[in-house]
Structure 1
């Protein structure tokens, strides 16, 4: 168990990342290749990823270089998932290249003590060896992570909408209380379930705040840096459900008059539902906006989701609906037409 200790200052500085961390998604996706746990949630990705790695000639590099560096175990080196990666893949790999040889050797020694490091691990202290590692990381990301960037971003947008509602209802503590099922808020401590082989530890934020990074490829394995001196970051799993459609970005407008074109196409109730979902809406809120029963609102939301216009995520006893790229494009087009 990881125990993250908050002060009032830490609560004020806690935030949710708006974008995925590309190097963490690389690490988490490599863990998916090493485990059958949760395979149902990634079945399509797994088949496609294996095929793309073969087509790109990356199977050997993944097997001999990446998997030994990113074991699905109690530890893998912190420098491989730098905080700067939150600014994009380029920033992340530059941070890997800029890592001091001393830190590389220190973290490789920890890896060796924990699960065993590959015999060539010490060579990564050299700049030329890390350049080759970065080349492989880029190729792997391009082959099996980047093609899913829209799905990943969609899930993060939905997660942020859920978290925003937690803040509105109960402040930052309300948001932390809704992060389950692998996390439990017991003020002033966030208890995070760690892999069984990992010993319990405490992380004192010391007024630095916490950056929460939702991860698409992480499966029930929240992770923070092993080094407590590094900026506090917690990567955690997005919930996956079978037979749901992923989305890209939630449209940032507000619910309102859907306009005649959209109403004519979808009918008034579903047009209103689409507008309401532009800012994230529960089934009950859609029902109130459209003036229909909760069961009718649920049917309308299901129809829109089946058509690829909405994506839905469960938040406790409620379901939050947000727009898919197609839904957002449709609403933008309808809004422009109505204004013209």
Structure 2
């Protein structure tokens, strides 16, 4: 059982992540890749990405066993939830952190020889690990990231409404089927017995796409407190049917432009290049999407920067109301 101990200050500082955490989703997706749980939801994704899994992913699975502890340093806290920041934080992991986490991991399994260099903080070993995360994410998660973002965005909006309607008591009661809230302690089913004392730091609640079963947190209670918990899924989310449906609804070019902007904010010229269309067409399609409330646009120096809205993300996720 996991017991999270709150103070009034902790409740005031507890927040819900508005976006998925790339480093956590990378780690959790490694569990989904090698386990057989969630067949209806994840089997399509597993089948589609297995031929694309980079060879360097072996470095990650050495540190993320199918069950039990995974090294805390693989999921560093960053102020902005983007892969680049997570990779940079991983590259800057202090030697003491590396040694501590690898020592804990070695109690549960025999570690390969290359981890000795990692424990010593050798730059080449740390960079090799960060490159493996980058390559795995690019091959196995990036093609689906717009959908992942959309579902987490929807869950964030739903839970923010729960807090507005009934406070944290309502939110904690809805967080997970095993959640039991009796101030000042939130109890959740967990593989091991663990207490997390927030000590006035608050709690980062992270709705997670690849989390399955029980919620997850860090082993080291001195790190920034975080709780990952699973969200709902639609069957077939990883297939191409949604892309075809979106093209039928919006038209092929407009759907491609929306997906391009959904990947990350971009200028009109970037939209044209990445969506493989002309500059006038990209501008016209972005204007139509803006009029429909699916994207927003703002002046950015000499360019116009386009960003997707919550409604646009929901449409890409295939769950617009």
Residue from 195, 208, 220 that aligns with 1:215:
208
- Larger of the two Rg values belongs to structure: 1
Residue from 199, 202, 220 that aligns with 1:206:
199
1:93 aligned partner: 87
How far apart are residue 148 of structure 1 and its match? 1.0
Instruction: List alignment gaps of at least 5 residues for structure 2.
Output: 247-258, 263-291, 294-309
How far apart, in 1, do the equivalents of 2:81 and 2:154 lie? 20
Instruction: List alignment gaps of at least 5 residues for structure 1.
Output: 250-273, 276-309, 312-321, 332-340
Counterpart contact for 1:11–1:173, Cα < 8 Å: no
How far apart, in 2, do the equivalents of 1:28 and 1:240 lie? 15
Q: Kindly report which structure 2 residues correspond to 1:33-48, keeping only aligned pairs within 5 A, or say none.
A: 33-48=33-48
2:69 aligned partner: 75
After superposition, the C-alpha distances for 1:273-307 in whole angstroms (9 at most, x for unaligned) are: x99xxxxxxxxxxxxxxxxxxxxxxxxxxxxxxxx
1:132 aligned partner: 128
Counterpart contact for 2:179–2:189, Cα < 8 Å: yes
How far apart, in 1, do the equivalents of 2:317 and 2:31 lie? 31
1:119 aligned partner: 113
Higher relative contact order (CA closer than 8 Å, sequence separation 6+): 2
1:141 aligned partner: 137
Counterpart contact for 2:176–2:229, Cα < 8 Å: no
Residue from 239, 244, 249 that aligns with 2:232:
239
Residue from 120, 131, 148 that aligns with 1:152:
148
1:61 aligned partner: 56
Change over 3 Å in CA distance of 1:323–1:119 after alignment to 2: closer
Residue from 155, 169, 174 that aligns with 2:170:
174
Counterpart contact for 2:146–2:317, Cα < 8 Å: no
Q: Give the aligned CA root-mean-square deviation in angstroms.
A: 3.0
How far apart, in 2, do the equivalents of 1:129 and 1:119 lie? 11
Q: Kindly report which structure 2 residues correspond to 1:227-266, keeping only aligned pairs within 5 A, or say none.
A: 227-242=220-235
How far apart, in 2, do the equivalents of 1:107 and 1:162 lie? 35
2:282 aligned partner: none
| Secondary structure at the counterpart of residue 186 of structure 2 | strand
Counterpart contact for 2:173–2:180, Cα < 8 Å: yes
| Secondary structure at the counterpart of residue 106 of structure 1 | helix
Change over 3 Å in CA distance of 1:37–1:44 after alignment to 2: same
Change over 3 Å in CA distance of 1:327–1:159 after alignment to 2: closer
Counterpart contact for 1:32–1:39, Cα < 8 Å: no
Change over 3 Å in CA distance of 1:147–1:327 after alignment to 2: closer
